[in-house]
Amino acid sequence: MSAAAPALELHDVTVAYGRRPVLWNVDLSVDAPGLFGIIGPNGAGKSTLLKAALGLVPLAGGTVRFFGRPLAEVRGRIGYVPQRETVDWDFPVSVLDVVLMGTYGGLGWFRRPGAAQREAARAALDRVGLADLAGRQIGRLSGGQQQRVFLARALVQAADLYLLDEPLAGVDARSQDRIFRVLDELRSEGRLVVVVHHDLRTAAEWFDGVALVDMRLVAAGPVAAVLTPENLHRTYAGHLDVLDELGRAVERGGRTS
Amino acid sequence: MNLVPGSEGGFAALHAWAIATAAVVAAGCALVGTLLVVRRMSLLGDAISHAVLPGIVLAVLAGGRPGGFAVLGGAVVAAVVTVLLVQALRSEGGVAEDAGTGVVFTTLFAVGVVLASALARRIDLDPSCVLYGVLEFVPFDTVAVAGLEVPRAFLTGVVVLGLVGAGLAATWKDQVFAAFDAEAARAVGVPVAAVTTGLLAATALVTVASFEAVGAILVVAMLVVPAAAAELLVRRLAWMAVVAVVLGVAAACLGYMAAYRLDTSAAGMIAVVLGLEYAVAAIVAPEDGVLARGAARARLAWRVRCEDLLARLWRADEARAGPPAATGPGDWAAAAWLRVSGRIVRDGDRWGLTAPGRAEAETVVRSHRLWEAWLGRHVELPLDHLHPPAEWIEHHLGADVRRRIEAEVGGEESDPHGRAIPRERGRPNA
């Protein structure tokens, strides 16, 4: 990792769904290694921030750089763990099949995952504590186990930067411990782990740095500097009706009241 | 159906060609349909199969032959236009995807019908053939391939099956990833849009190749039904594709032969056989089938009856009362089974628990009373509300959760009614 370029850098990023802006002018720069939390109320645009960084929703403005380079050049160094609810868990695949998907980005047409990929997938499953469930249909897993399968799918990429969307939402205590332990290991290995997180109580304890987001970036930096009563009040109590109303006005091409 | 009579051998060969054509197009449809079904895009298959009609009519008008490759191209273009229009309606007009699909495919289909009817004299295309197919007449429109007269529709079907099969083989892993989790697939660099467009083009190809055999309306059955049935039967996508192809081909063969016997529409009969296959799959499916669920319910009911009887005997002992009266033939059957399996003994006109029976009964009563204790602690319920849920939960508590509940209720000696909670088996009685 180059010393100069931060692992993740958003410059003046604005994101719109259709024409309605939902995230305004975010400047954010995070260095590796570390465990970094993105925190904010429901509908604040936390997940949107991750998706925009990954090019999954188009930017209305601004730029995103990873390790100082555009996404297309460093895709293989980035692992993404979407929210568990975004997929159909009755889909007819096994646990190992899902983890192997993490290797597909590096394979070309016609190439199937081989022994090396299987080995890596089993190692990733072992790391999240699911080695003995490799052959199981994914619908038979508990919510926490499903989340760990998603984590294993990202681990198999051996990325330098991990972006996780609510990996601890609705998981059992055992899965939560295991997931957190793996994220902690990733940090010790020198990687950057960015986590969208909803629980303020655990945030201060787990993360090195946090960003408070509510349709815009309220504050970002070390936990002690950011999680101040004033910043929290601005994030949670001061919901910006102006941004909301303005977004709707832009969407319909009119003016606010 | 009436076929032109010929010599005995020629007659059989005509049927064989018709069956082979139906089987080939059914295989292609089932393959593509598998991905459509797991992507929850079955309705789009329906839409495409209808919306390609104007593309076909225009291609024929431009000089293409029905079943020829120009027509296949026209159909693919129309399919892509359909999908683009649906997407445009959603993103620009804010129309919900299902409504947008309904608007686009019916409109395009209607345009196709109008065009085909208006131009009927100028072009060689019978709208009713497109709608219902003419499997029976497929063998009469042949082309020479390596000295063999091969029906044109069969040749088209084979070429399309080869194309689609090769295309899916090349992109299979990406198809699966895009189907399961499109966003994560895009994040690792899988070209999801191209993969999806490829699937839609494949849908258009197999649909058009099937038109002459089964028509625009019943091709939907070939796309969706074998895959939907296969999804009930197997749990892995690759196996699902294999089973869907087998079911599709089987329906093509059986449907054609049944139609010949009953002198009715071959396309209709093939779709009916597909429906029957689905019904059978829904009944015999190993996990969600009617039989499997019924058997699971019956097993549970039997276990509950046996456990309840054991628990009643145990409680009667505890209360130093006589053995409880049997309440019906179910009880007698359970008692007979418990005697045969060595858990109760008959002593004169009394039932008594054997050692294994007593251990099992204690587990049930322990589960019951632990659950009452847990509920009493965690949920504000009057005492008389505790028994009914425990009566149900006692059959579902395993040893591990029982221990956890016991740890939580602090090793209480008795349930909220003041009765002793039996100890876990394998530990000394207190």
Condensed to tens digits (0 to 9), the pLDDT of residues B222-272 reads: 999 999 999 999 989 999 999 999 999 999 999 999 999 999 888 889 999
SS3 A136: coil
pLDDT at B4 over 70: no
CB contact under 8 A, A113 and B236: no
> What is the ipTM for the molecules in this complex?
0.89
Chain A hits for B89, CB-CB cut-off 8 Å, are none
Cross-chain residue pair B183–A153, CB shorter than 8 Å: no
Asked if pLDDT for residue B377 goes beyond 90, the answer is no
Mean pLDDT rounded to a whole number for chain B: 85
- Look at residue A134 and tell me whether its pLDDT is greater than 90: yes
| Contact between chains at A87 and B181 (C-beta distance less than 8 A) | yes
Q: Is B146 left (phi over 0), alpha (psi -120 to 50) or beta?
A: left
For residue B322, pLDDT over 80 is answered with: no
Of residues B65 and A74, more confidence is placed in A74
- Mean pLDDT comparison of B29-33, B208-212, B344-348, highest-scoring range: B29-33
Torsion of CA B115, B120, B121, B126, to 10 degrees: 150
Interface size between A and B, measured as CB pairs under 8 A: 79
Is B108's pLDDT higher than 50?
yes
Q: A33: cis peptide before it, omega within 30°?
A: yes
**Set of chain B residues whose Cβ sits within 8 Å of the Cβ of A109:** 170-171
Q: Are B237 and A92 an interchain contact pair (Cβ–Cβ within 8 Å)?
A: yes
> Which residue of A56, A107, A137 is in closest CB contact with B235?
A137
In this predicted model, which residue has the larger pLDDT, B274 or A198? B274
Residues 181-210 of B with CB under 8 A from A: 181, 183-190
DSSP annotation of B410: T
**Superfamily of chain region B8-285:** ABC transporter involved in vitamin B12 uptake, BtuC (1.10.3470.10)
Q: What's the CA gap between B430 and B422, in Å, rounded?
A: 9
What DSSP letter does each residue of A6-46 carry, written as one string? -SEEEEEEEEEETTEEEEEEEEEEEPSSEEEEEE--TTSSH
| Inter-residue contact B138 to B213 (CB < 8 Å) | yes
Q: Does B400 touch chain A (CB under 8 A)?
A: no
Average pLDDT for residues A10-32, to the nearest whole number? 90
Residues 220-249 of B with CB under 8 A from A: 231, 234-237, 240
Using DSSP, state whether B415 is helix, strand or coil.
coil
At B112-167, the pLDDT tens digits run 888 888 887 777 667 677 777 788 888 888 888 888 888 888 998 999 999 999 99
Q: Which domains does chain A have, with CATH numbers?
A: 8-252 (3.40.50.300)
**How many Å apart are CA B263 and CA B318, to the nearest integer?**
73
pLDDT at B412: 64
Give A111→chain B minimum CA distance, Å: 8
Q: Chain B residues with CB inside 8 Å of A93's CB? A: 176, 180, 236-237
- Residue B3: the pLDDT is 46
Question: What is the per-residue pLDDT for A1?
Answer: 44
Type of residue at B144:
A
Task: Taking residues B384-396, report their average pLDDT.
Answer: 85
Q: Is the pLDDT of residue A164 over 90?
A: yes
| A136 vs B56, higher pLDDT | A136
Please give the average per-residue pLDDT across B18-33, as a whole number.
Answer: 95
Residue recorded with tokens 């909670």: B421
Give the helix, strand, coil percentages of chain B, each rounded to 5.
75, 5, 20
Tell me which chain A residues have a C-beta less than 8 angstroms from the C-beta of B184. 80-82, 101, 153
Over the stretch A64-94, which tens digit does the pLDDT of each residue have?
Answer: 999 999 999 999 899 999 999 999 999 999 9
End-to-end CA distance of chain B: 83
Percent of chain A at pLDDT exceeding 70:
96
Render the burial of B175-193: b for 16+ CB within 10 Å, e for the rest. Answer: bbbbbbbbbbbbbbebebe
Residue span(s) of chain B under CATH 1.10.10.10 come to 294-408
Q: Where in chain B is the domain with CATH 1.10.3470.10?
A: 8-285
Partner-chain contact A56 B176, CB within 8 Å: no
- Predicted local confidence at residue B320, as pLDDT: 78
CB contacts of A112 in chain B (<8 Å) are 173
With CA atoms as reference, the chain A residue closest to B91 would be A18
The pLDDT value given to residue B9? 57
Give dist(CA A165, CA A181) in Å, integer. Answer: 17
Q: What is the mean pLDDT of chain A?
A: 90
Question: Cβ separation of B186 and A88 shorter than 8 Å?
Answer: no
Residue B70's pLDDT is 81
pLDDT over 70 percentage in chain B: 92
* Min Cα separation A11/chain B (Å): 20
Nearest CB partner across the interface for A112, out of B40, B173, B240: B173
Q: Where are the alpha helices (DSSP H) in chain A?
A: 46-53, 71-74, 95-100, 115-127, 143-155, 173-188, 200-206, 223-226, 229-232, 241-252
Q: Looking at the complex, does the CB of residue A178 fall below 8 Å from at least one CB of chain B?
A: no
Nearest to B24, CA basis, from B268, B277, B211, B210: B210
Nearest Cα residue in chain A from B188: A105
The DSSP 8-state label assigned to residue B136 in this structure reads G
Which residues 6+ apart lie within 8 Å of B121 measured at CB?
Answer: none
With CA atoms as reference, report the closest residue to B259 among B250, B249, B269: B269
Please indicate whether, in this complex, the C-beta atoms of A87 and B179 are within 8 angstroms of each other: no
- Most A CBs within 10 A among B183, B195, B243, B287, hence the mutation to make, goes to B183
User: Rounded to whole angstroms, how far apart are CA atoms A11 and A213?
Assistant: 15
Average pLDDT value for residue range B266-287: 94
Give the integer Cα–Cα distance in Å for B24 and A68: 53
Q: What percent of chain B has pLDDT over 90?
A: 38
What is the end-to-end Cα distance of chain A in Å, rounded?
49
Per-residue pLDDT reduced to its tens digit, A90-117: 999 999 999 999 998 878 777 888 999 9
Whether B428 shows a pLDDT value over 60: the answer reads no
In chain A, whose CA is at the least distance from the CA of B37? A91
How close, in Å, is residue A219 to chain B by CA atoms? 27
Per the document, the length of chain B is 430
Comparing A212-226, B52-66, B159-173, the range with the smallest average pLDDT is B52-66
**H or E element in which residue B143 lies:** strand B142-145
Return residues 315-354 of B near A (CB < 8 Å). Answer: none
Compare all CA atoms of chain B with the CA of A137 and give the residue at the minimum distance: B235
Mean pLDDT of B366-388: 84
Tell me the CA distances in angstroms from B132 to B15, B31, B97, B219, one per residue in order. Answer: 18, 22, 28, 9
Using DSSP, state whether B417 is helix, strand or coil.
Answer: coil
DSSP letter assigned to residue A254: S
For B294-408, CATH gives: 1.10.10.10
